[in-house]
Amino acid sequence: MKSLYFILFCCICLYSCEKKVKKSRLRAVRWWTLAHAESMNNMVVPQTQIQNPTSLPLTRKQRNLVSKNPGSIRAVYQGAKQAILECKYQFKNRRWNCPTYESGRGVSVFGKILQKGCRETAFIYAITSAAISHAVARACATGTIYTCTCDYSAKPPGHETVTPDSSNWKWGGCSDNAKFGHKFGRRFVDVVEKGQDIRYMMNLHNNAAGRVHVTSQMTQACKCHGMSGSCQIKTCWMKLPTFRRVGDLLKDRFDGASRVLPGNAGSDRRRRRKFTFTPKFTFTPFDPNHKAPSKKDLVYFEKSPEFCNQNNNIGFKGTVGRECNDTSLGLEGCDLMCCGRGHKTQTYMVVERCNCTFRWCCEVMCEACRITKMKHTCL
């Protein structure tokens, strides 16, 4: 009898421990909810919240960082919002279309998919991390963060050795401050990850991969100041890639993400210590014929669910009712999108401007045409 109680006791302990781990993981990424906070009142962050960051969904360290860098919270808001928009854009044609949820009560913006270690999880971490670095680097250059400015020393790789007298080219334009963005992003984003397990390593790696795609994509821009627009004198600076470009690149990495092996040294979840030195961690590829992932690769350790039917474990609705393309053979095609369940087709009319002609001067005349369109949705 005693031993039965003991076993029961152990079960309860393990269960609550497991729950704690999951809960802390969701709590860890609360800053993503900032994206919704902004959209709700359409205005930027209320001034009181900026001055009193204790009301923000941040950890203590994040709050300190934000307080030390006045103005940075706006960039964090914008970054979180942009990350969500970009994720939805990149995945609009896939079964998993980056659904987000009204946050609050411990629910993460991206939902329970974060408890998995699959490609989608990897992408979420990378895109949100990239967005913070991107938004902060830009904010520095526009002067909205008090503790950073334009980067006046940024030069394209290999340019450092050129002597400035060789022409009238001048560096010293106002570059986006990728260095500051990178540093701030690392401190703001990585600080919430705790532990020593593969998931911790995976999140940190994907966070870093996101940032690398921002900093490595800086391009040179120049402006000519010579007489009548000649380029005898010009100023050059380094500018960030558009966030769409970062999203495209990360989506490519998603498609070619590296599956790695869990169960490496330190994979025991319960052996979590508070301040541990992070050893240099190398991932072992799942397929021994694959090379180890590079800094830019996304890594994951768990196969993705099929994302066909409702799955409460990951809080996914399934693809019933999703729009699909009945002629495409790709992922957005009805066959794959609807997982073989079939689809229904509805026709509907739209009125569009058509047959537009230009009339001198200056008018565009159009006809109103009724067009029949078809919409296919998964059963």
Ligand X SMILES: *[C@@H]1O[C@H](CO)[C@@H](O)[C@H](O)[C@H]1NC(C)=O
Q: For every residue of 325-377, which 3-state class applies, written as one string?
A: ECCCCCCCEHHHHCCCCCEEEEEEEEEEEEEEEEECCCEEEEEEEEEEEEEEE
Which CB sits closer to ligand X, 166 or 355? 355
Residue identified by tokens 């991969």 is 209
Q: At closest approach, how far in Å is the CB of 100 from ligand X? A: 23
Q: At closest approach, how far in Å is the CB of 93 from ligand X? A: 9
Instruction: Output helix, strand, coil percentages for the chain, rounded to the nearest 5.
Output: 40, 15, 40
Q: At closest approach, how far in Å is the CB of 239 from ligand X? A: 32
Dihedral sign of CA atoms 98, 108, 105, 270 in order:
positive
Which CB sits closer to ligand X, 325 or 377? 325
Residue identified by tokens 């629910």 is 107
Q: At closest approach, how far in Å is the CB of 318 from ligand X? A: 22
Q: Which residues contact 328 (CB under 8 A, 6 or more apart)?
A: none
Which CB sits closer to ligand X, 295 or 353? 353
Name the residue among 239, 241, 236 with its Cα closest to residue 162. 236
Which CB sits closer to ligand X, 13 or 369? 369
Distance CA 34, CA 109 (A): 9
The residue type at 1: M
Which CB sits closer to ligand X, 275 or 348? 348
Q: At closest approach, how far in Å is the CB of 330 from ligand X? A: 6
The residue type at 8: L
| SS3 at position 255 | helix
Which CB sits closer to ligand X, 41 or 347? 347
Q: At closest approach, how far in Å is the CB of 364 from ligand X? A: 14
Report whether the peptide linkage leading into residue 10 is cis, meaning its omega lies within 30 degrees of zero.
no
Residue identified by tokens 């991206």 is 110
Which CB sits closer to ligand X, 163 or 327? 327
Q: At closest approach, how far in Å is the CB of 85 from ligand X? A: 20
Q: At closest approach, how far in Å is the CB of 345 from ligand X? A: 13
Name the residue among 214, 195, 376 with its Cα closest to residue 276. 195
Phi (first) and psi of residue 130, to 5 degrees: -60, -40
Which CB sits closer to ligand X, 48 or 355? 355
Using CB under 6 A, list all residues that contact ligand X: 325, 327-328, 354-355, 367, 369
